[in-house]
Chain A
Amino acid sequence: MQDPEERTKRQTSRRNFLGQALTAAGTAIAAPTLIHQATSAQNMNTTQTPAPGEMAVTLTVNGKPRSLTLEPRVTLLDALREQLGLVGSKKGCDHGQCGACTVLIDGERVYSCLALAVMQEGKAITTVEGLANGDVLHPVQDAFIDNDGFQCGYCTPGQVCASVALLDEIKRGCASAITPDLTRAPQLADLSEAEIKERLSGNLCRCSAYNGIVAAVQQAAGQQPPAPAAAMLLTEPAEVLV
């Protein structure tokens, strides 16, 4: 669990000094040659006549209709990243083996690298970018921050989407391969660590932030995540003199 003081800060005000979010390095790209840049998404947003071999589709992504033309073989992941400029979903393998591309389709988690974009018309697609409500993070997102459920962050969008779906699956009474009692619906309150792990085993994290991820799901499920073992050891240092 991170410093409680810091958490309060995040919850009360996500805006801070100079009205800027305390953001990542590298949020801005400064190459002068990029002045004329435009994402292909912008080009694509006006409905176009499809080129030979392409189809026109309208996808509902994070609540907004997005029209685009693409070949039928284009995956949802490529459509999101390359055409719609939604680069939160990551490509870790492109073969349905890592989970970095996990998104929600009608509330169910799907590896977007294994889903064809043209087949998603009429469905509600939610990517990691669509989970927060404006400035208010989704409880799962908050829980990942509170419990340090990441290091490099590359698997995190997939982990977060998978965790959101996981909690929903419990609420809907879905069993997993290791659910102990199939005669009663699993409950969030007694969701075991083993169950959480089983249900997240399709999302790899090479940094192995796994303990934090489990704790994040426990918190989002309304459980008390285990206290971290690492104690805060540093005593307040004396004021720093010139």
Chain B
Amino acid sequence: MSTVGKRKSHESAEGHVTGKAVYTDEQRPPVGMLSVYPVLAAHARAKITSIDTSAADEVEGLVTVLTAADVPGENDTGAIAHDEILLPTDEVMYWGQAVAWTVGETEDAARLAAQKITVEYEPLPPVLTIQDAIASDSFHTSPQVIRRGDPNAALQTADLCLTGEVGVNGQDHFYLETQTSWVIPDGAGHYQVYSSTQHPTETQIIIARVLGIPTNQVVVTCLRMGGGFGGKESQANPFASVAAIAAYKTGRPVRVKLNRQHDMILTGKRHGFLGHYTVGFSYDGRITALDVDLYADGGWSLDLSPPVLLRAMLHVDNAYYIPNLEVRGRIAKTNTVSNTAFRGFGGPQGMVVIEDIVDRVARSLNLPPDVVRERNFYHGTGETNTTHYGQEIFDNRIARVWSDVQANAEVAERKVAIAQFNQTHTYTKRGLAITPVKFGISFNKTQYNQAGALILIYTDGSIQLNHGGTEMGQGLHTKMLQVAAQTLGVNLNRFRVMPTSTDKVPNTSATAASSGSDLNGQAVKDACETIKSRLAPVAAKMLALDTPEEMVFAEDWIYCRTYPSARVRFEDVVQQAYGDRVSLSATGYYRTPSIYWNAETGRGRPFYYYAYGAAVSEVEVDGFTGTFKLLQVDIVHDVGESLNPLVDQGQIEGGFVQGMGWLTMEELVWDAQGRLRTDAPSTYKIPTISEVPEHFKVQLLERAAQDGVIYGSKAVGEPPLMLAISVREAIRAAIAAFGQPDHVPLTSPATPEATLKAIDYVRTHSTVAAKSSIDPDPALKS
């Protein structure tokens, strides 16, 4: 019997289709639960001169108002630095920041009361963009550097050089379930918190910090989330904390559930980035040197920006061997929301920058971009297969996914067809692009690479499975069930997966960095192995065998490998074990081996392994409107030996479409006063079902078992998002077909507006004559 590797549908599948799956706000509400509502700052940056709450008191149903004075502990929810004030005292740092919260018997009462609160401000000039921040030297951090070789010298001797700038847009998570927490005080100083959080332990620590009580007084439970994508890692904490303060002050249960508009205004997003680069390369398109500055828009507080920036710096190579590379990274401090984790965690931004550069190199040489990509791949062993931070890529699968996807997608034939199409169509052009992904797996911060689990077996043979990861739709609970059932050799139906709770498995890491299955899976397996080692002697005794060696646990039976005909039922062994006073519960623990990182030197082995993928996308661009249609997508992705191909396929498709949304349609617009103008699905466009191409083929890389990872599988949550860079590059290829340019500047996201601008550029900058020679423009030589 095998459980692992099956196309098992989500453990909660039936709950989802019947509406019975329980999320935080789907529980039965306790009597007397209060609601909260924020008072939003009217300026991006301003001194608070007064807060007058007196008129709010007249609102029937108002219970109390929370301002900074009500915070019993530390008025700060910062995850890394303590720089994130929860209830501002003298200054607001971004437009819409919550200055105060009303607490009402009903949400209506809280909302009415919030409208009656008057706050006086003295506006200050805000810093709204990365460019503003650079100009006014507004940064959270000093520059960080990672260097290999001697880029300066290599640029001097390169055949050709190009200098440029790449802007990468941010992205709203738009998890369909907005930020939600319930805090229930027990009257004795303890708080049970139900929170839609990817990081229950951090939520627990921060609530304890804000309330000024020891961590053990707070239990945080995450039932499941209606999407997370990184947006409920640190971002859950301030709202859970507000509810906790209200519960502390009133002694009553309190609910916070942000409405969509508030969620979009108040929560941090994917970091926008700005890259400045100089690239040196040979006449045949080999990149010999890269010097790049990456600026991340951190927003008003630090949040998780340092590790996000670091991951961007560690992925600015993507799949390419660049012998001389210097990347400098810095976090801009701006008066906008505090940007945070989002699927890929900086990796996608780093990759967009290098893919933009590679395309530019290719077009400047009049070479096909995929040829230039291929020429620059990591390859061989040693130096040419080692990253700019000194990690050798031992199991390099780039060439495999690359050739598999080209074969699957029949790229050669289609290129001919596309060329023909473009020749016969003046106002519509097609483009095709292939892009690779190499994504490092592990938390950058070594200490997060640990996990725990707790297995409880009851005397009737039923089992509770606890682990430290949270379920947000990625299928983690399903995979953990499979791992536990496989390891114990029992039927899945014996299990109940318990809500993730800090009183079952303490000191957990965020369910993030795609690491949920890797880390928790090993911990679950460890707990199951412990129990098996206790049950094996009991079973051996029941079978009158001398030694407990060679006991097989399979299909709810336990038997000796050499005498399979004599066997005992799992639940009979459990009963006997209880009678023999053998413990039926066990914890499990795992820490990822052999990873390390030296922040000073920018060297180490930060990743346990890499996940690989490649995608071929073809688009058709309308020259009148700038709109595109995604015609065909083929993906080959490496998930190792899949724990669950059904779940993994969903992750690959979902990640790809989310990445496509980010790069082609999701545009965050802040106006000159720093107000977010895209605060609803009506103005912020995420992909709908109609944007998914009819031909959308995902293949899992074959013969791909990964050594040292749970049942040979690989992490899958984040890497597929970056496969969508192929859509952006395909749009660029189609734009290029409107002329004969040696450069296609395309801003991000590639909205119709951006595409039209690029088409205009291409039409006016076509260099048909220049193509006969590859002599560089002297102005470009640095």
Contacts and interface: CB of A to CB of B under 8 A. Distances in A.
Interface of A: 1-3, 6, 10, 14, 16-18, 20-27, 29, 31-34, 36-40, 85-90, 92-95, 97-98, 100, 127-129, 131-132, 137, 141-142, 144-146, 148, 150-157, 160, 193-194, 197-198, 200-201, 203-214, 228-234, 236-237, 239-242
B653 interface: yes
Given A204-B686, A207-B227, A92 B260 contact: yes
Contact of A90 (B13, B226, B487, B533): B226
A240 B19 CA distance: 37
A233 B700 contact: yes
Contact of B5 (A32, A97, A198, A232): A232
11 contacts: A22-B11, A26-B223, A29-B27, A34-B30, A90-B176, A129-B18, A206-B173, A206-B176, A207-B176, A240-B486, A242-B551
Nearest to A203: B689
A45 B493 CA distance: 37
A144 B645 contact: no
B646 A40 contact: no
Contacts of B2: 234, 236-237
Nearest to B535: A242
Contacts of A157: 16-17, 19
Interface string B10-23: 11111111111111
Given A207-B650, A210-B692, 18 more contacts: A3-B8, A6-B9, A17-B462, A17-B491, A21-B14, A24-B21, A29-B27, A37-B30, A86-B19, A94-B259, A98-B681, A204-B176, A208-B658, A228-B7, A232-B7, A236-B2, A242-B536, A242-B549
Nearest to A95: B680
Interface in B487-514: 487, 489, 491-494, 496-500
Closest 6 CB pairs of A and B: A88-B19, A152-B473, A234-B5, A154-B226, A26-B223, A153-B16
Interface string B691-724: 0101011111010100000010000000000000
A145 B499 contact: no
A151 B473 contact: yes
Contacts of A204: 176, 681, 686, 688
- Tell me which of B5, B253, B487, B554 has the highest count of chain A C-beta atoms within 10 A of its own C-beta: B5
A6 B698 contact: no
B186 A27 contact: no
B64 to A, nearest CB: 20
A197 B493 contact: no
A20 B477 CA distance: 18
A34 B184 contact: yes
B654 A230 contact: no
Nearest to A152: B473
Contacts of B177: 90, 92, 152, 154
Contacts of B178: 92
Interface in B139-159: none
A237 B176 contact: no
A128 B21 CA distance: 12
Contacts of B186: 31-33
Interface of B: 2, 4-23, 25-31, 173-178, 184-187, 192, 194, 221, 223-229, 253, 259-260, 460, 462, 471-475, 477, 486-487, 489, 491-494, 496-500, 532-533, 536, 548-554, 561, 641-642, 645-651, 653-654, 656-658, 680-682, 686-690, 692, 694, 696-700, 702, 704, 711
Contacts of B462: 17-18
Contacts of A10: 14
B650 A212 contact: yes
A212 B475 CA distance: 15
A241 B18 contact: no
A145 B14 contact: yes
B379 to A, nearest CB: 26
Given A23-B12, A231-B645, A211 B18 contact: no
Contacts of B175: 152, 154, 206
B12 A213 contact: no
A213 B689 contact: yes
Nearest to B489: A240
A211 B27 contact: no
A159 to B, nearest CB: 9
Given A40-B29, A154-B176, A208-B692, A137 B18 contact: yes
A230 B487 CA distance: 25
Contacts of A94: 259-260
Contact of A25 (B9, B486, B497): B497
Contacts of B692: 197, 208, 210-211, 214
Nearest to B692: A210
Nearest to A161: B19
Contact of B192 (A33, A93, A205, A213): A33
Nearest to A39: B28
A174 to B, nearest CB: 18
Nearest to A74: B108
Contacts of A132: 18
Given A200-B689, A230-B645, A233-B641, A209 B550 contact: no
Contacts of B4: 234, 237
B341 to A, nearest CB: 16
Contacts of A234: 2, 4-6, 641-642, 645
A208 to B, nearest CB: 4
B16 A241 contact: no
B22 A197 contact: no
A197 B680 contact: no
Contacts of A90: 176-177, 226
A51 B461 CA distance: 53
A230 B19 contact: no
A188 B492 CA distance: 37
